[in-house]
C-alpha cells in the first residue's frame, strides 16, 4: 500500500483529492474545520518536500450547475489559515484558466480548484473529465476517505491516468489502518457497539462483523425490534415489525459463532418524544403502553461498561439514546466515558458513522478515543466488507 511517505515531492506537483465538503452557515463561513485539519499533514508533507499542491474537492450537491453559494471560494481563507500558507484559487477545475494557474504554480504553493461537482461528469465518473483533471499533477494523492466509496472521476477514475505515481494521503491511510485494526488485525476481545434507530440500516454491518467480534452491544432504537421479537413489551418505542424475524436470525447467528450479544436490560422511558417529557426507568421488556424507551438505563450502562473495559479493540457506530436531547444523553455519554477509560488502559478504539461522530464531538471525546473516522458512508461500507472504489484504484 503506497502512501505519501513512499514519495519525495521535490519539484513535483501533487494533485490531491481532499474532502473539503464542509458545513457552511448562512454567511458561507465554515462551521466545522475538522476535514480541513485532517488534510493538513498531507498538504504540508508535499510542501516540506519542496513540491506544490493542487487541491480538488466537491462541496454540497450542485448537480452539475455552477451555484455561487457552493463555490469553494468561500473556504479559501479558512484553508489558508489552517494550513499556514496563503492558498491560491481558480474558479474552474478544468480548462485553460486552470492550466495557466497550474503552469505558474511554484514549489511551496497551493492551488485550490473550483467545486468538481459543478460538472456533472464528476459524479458520472467520466473518463474524459478524469483525464483533463490528471493534467494538473505529476503524482495523484487520494486523501478523501469520505468519498472513497464513490467511483467518481476525481476519486477513482483519475487514478488510472497515473500508473505508479499514485498513493494514499496520510488521512486516508489512517482510515484504512484503523478499519483494518478492527476488522482484521485487532487484539481480542473485540467489541462492537452498534446504536441508532433502525436494524435495517445496520444489517449488513452486523452480518459482516459477526465473524470478527467477541461482543456485540446493541443500543438505541434498534433495541426495541430485538426486544419485541423476543416477546417483550416495548410500549410506544420505535420498532421495525418487518425486521423482527431478521433480529432473531442475527441473535441465532451470533450464538452459533460464539459472539456475546448485549442488549439493554433497562431503559429510561418517556411519555413523549420530548426533552421535557415525564420519565421513568423500567425493564426493557416491560415498557408501559404510552411510554417509549429513549435512553439506556443504569443497569444496562453498568453492564456495557464492564464489557467495554474488558475489551482490547472497540468499534463504536451509533448512539445508545436520543443524545440530541439533554435528558436522554446520559447513555451515550456513559459509553464515551467507558471507551475513554478502556483506551487509556491500552485498548484501540474507533468511532465512525455520522451520529456517533457527532456525539463524540458534542461531548468532547474526540481526543479520548484512538481514532474518529471522517467518512460516514465510506466508513459504513468498509464495515460492511465492501471494497471501496477510491481505495481499489490506488491499489491496482
Interval 183-198: pLDDT, tens? 888 899 999 999 988 8
In a domain, 243, yes or no: yes
Mean predicted confidence (pLDDT) in 384-396: 88
Q: Tell me: the pLDDT tens digits for 125-149?
A: 999 999 999 999 999 999 998 888 8
Write out the three cell numbers for 363.
461531548
CA distances from 123 to 64, 145, 210, 212, 312 (A): 9, 16, 33, 34, 40
Q: Is 152 annotated as a binding residue?
A: no
Asked if 15 and 164 sit in the same domain, the reply is: yes
d(CA 178, CA 166): 21
- Active-site option among 64, 232, 377, 385: 377
Q: Tell me: the pLDDT tens digits for 84-100?
A: 999 999 999 999 999 99
Give the H or E element holding residue 15.
strand 13-17
Asked if 202 and 286 sit in the same domain, the reply is: yes
CB atoms within 10 A of CB 379: 29
Of 169, 204, 238, which residue constitutes the final position of a domain? 169
Checking if the pLDDT of 354 tops 70, the result is: no
* 17 is annotated as an active-site residue: no
Helices (H), the chain: 34-49, 76-83, 96-103, 120-124, 127-134, 170-183, 203-209, 222-229, 244-256, 298-309, 330-344, 354-362, 376-383, 389-395
Asked if 140 and 213 sit in the same domain, the reply is: no
Q: Tell me: the pLDDT tens digits for 113-123?
A: 999 999 999 99
pLDDT at residue 183, rounded to an integer: 86
> What's the domain range around 288?
186-383
Asked if 132 and 163 sit in the same domain, the reply is: yes
Q: Tell me: the pLDDT tens digits for 200-254?
A: 888 888 988 999 999 999 999 999 999 999 999 999 999 999 999 999 999 999 9
CATH number of the CATH domain containing 375 = 3.40.50.1260
User: SS3 of 394, please?
Assistant: helix
Q: Is 17 annotated as a binding residue?
A: no
CB atoms within 10 A of CB 363: 16
pTM (predicted TM-score): 0.85
In a domain, 270, yes or no: yes
Asked if 143 and 200 sit in the same domain, the reply is: no
Q: Cell match 472504489: residue? A: 389
* 377 is annotated as an active-site residue: yes
Confidence at 353, pLDDT banded by 50, 70, 90: confident
d(CA 119, CA 116): 6
Q: Tell me: the pLDDT tens digits for 148-177?
A: 888 999 999 999 999 899 999 999 999 899
pLDDT at residue 215, rounded to an integer: 97
- Active-site option among 35, 45, 166, 303: 35
* 376 is annotated as an active-site residue: no
Q: What angle in degrees, to the nearest 10, is found between the helix axes of 298-309 and 330-344? A: 20
Q: Is 34 annotated as a binding residue?
A: no
Least confident of 44-53, 170-179, 316-325, 384-393: 384-393
* 146 is annotated as an active-site residue: no
Asked if 191 and 309 sit in the same domain, the reply is: yes
Number of domains into which the chain is organized: 2
Of 138, 169, 200, which residue constitutes the final position of a domain? 169
Q: Is 20 annotated as a binding residue?
A: yes
pLDDT at residue 146, rounded to an integer: 82
- Active-site option among 40, 198, 253, 312: 198
Residues in the chain: 396
- Active-site option among 64, 232, 354, 385: 354
Asked if 290 and 341 sit in the same domain, the reply is: yes
Asked if 107 and 162 sit in the same domain, the reply is: yes
In a domain, 174, yes or no: no
Q: Is 295 annotated as a binding residue?
A: no
User: SS3 of 123, please?
Assistant: helix
Amino acid at each position: 500500500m503506497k502512501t505519501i511517505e513512499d514519495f519525495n515531492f521535490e519539484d513535483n506537483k501533487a494533485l490531491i483529492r481532499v474532502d473539503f465538503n464542509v458545513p457552511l452557515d448562512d454567511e458561507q463561513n465554515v462551521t466545522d474545520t475538522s476535514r480541513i485539519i485532517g488534510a493538513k499533514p498531507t498538504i504540508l508533507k508535499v510542501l516540506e518536500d519542496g513540491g506544490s499542491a493542487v487541491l480538488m474537492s466537491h462541496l454540497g450537491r450542485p448537480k452539475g450547475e455552477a451555484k455561487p453559494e457552493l463555490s469553494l471560494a468561500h473556504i479559501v481563507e479558512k484553508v489558508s489559515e489552517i494550513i499556514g500558507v496563503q492558498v491560491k484559487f481558480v474558479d474552474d477545475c478544468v480548462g485553460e484558466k486552470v492550466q495557466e494557474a497550474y503552469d505558474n504554480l511554484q514549489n511551496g504553493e497551493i492551488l485550490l480548484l473550483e467545486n468538481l461537482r459543478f460538472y456533472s461528469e464528476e459524479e458520472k465518473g467520466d473518463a474524459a473529465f478524469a483525464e483533463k483533471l490528471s493534467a494538473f499533477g505529476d503524482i495523484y494523492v487520494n486523501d478523501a476517505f469520505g468519498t472513497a466509496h464513490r467511483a467518481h472521476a476525481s476519486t477513482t477514475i483519475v487514478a488510472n491516468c497515473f500508473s505508479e505515481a499514485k498513493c494514499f494521503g496520510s488521512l486516508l491511510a489512517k482510515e484504512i489502518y484503523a478499519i483494518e485494526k478492527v476488522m482484521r488485525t485487532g487484539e481480542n476481545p473485540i467489541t462492537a457497539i452498534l446504536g441508532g434507530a433502525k436494524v435495517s440500516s445496520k444489517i449488513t454491518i452486523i452480518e459482516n462483523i459477526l465473524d470478527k467480534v467477541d461482543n456485540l452491544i446493541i443500543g438505541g432504537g434498534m433495541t426495541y425490534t430485538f426486544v419485541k421479537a423476543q416477546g417483550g413489551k416495548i410500549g410506544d418505542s420505535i420498532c421495525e415489525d418487518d425486521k423482527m424475524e431478521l433480529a432473531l436470525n442475527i441473535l441465532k447467528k451470533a450464538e452459533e459463532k460464539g459472539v456475546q450479544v448485549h442488549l439493554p436490560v433497562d431503559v429510561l422511558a418517556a411519555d413523549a418524544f420530548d426533552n421535557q417529557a415525564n420519565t421513568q426507568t423500567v425493564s426493557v421488556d416491560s415498557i408501559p403502553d404510552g411510554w417509549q424507551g429513549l435512553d439506556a438505563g443504569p443497569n444496562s450502562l453498568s453492564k456495557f461498561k464492564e464489557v467495554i473495559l474488558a475489551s482490547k479493540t472497540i468499534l463504536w457506530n451509533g448512539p445508545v439514546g436520543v443524545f440530541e436531547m439533554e435528558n436522554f444523553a446520559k447513555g451515550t455519554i456513559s459509553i464515551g466515558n467507558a471507551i475513554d477509560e478502556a483506551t487509556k488502559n491500552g485498548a484501540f478504539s474507533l468511532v465512525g458513522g455520522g451520529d456517533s461522530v457527532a456525539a463524540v464531538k458534542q461531548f468532547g471525546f474526540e481526543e479520548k478515543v484512538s481514532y474518529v473516522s471522517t467518512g460516514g458512508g465510506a466508513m459504513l461500507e468498509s464495515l460492511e466488507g465492501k471494497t471501496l472504489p477510491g481505495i481499489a484504484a490506488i491499489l491496482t
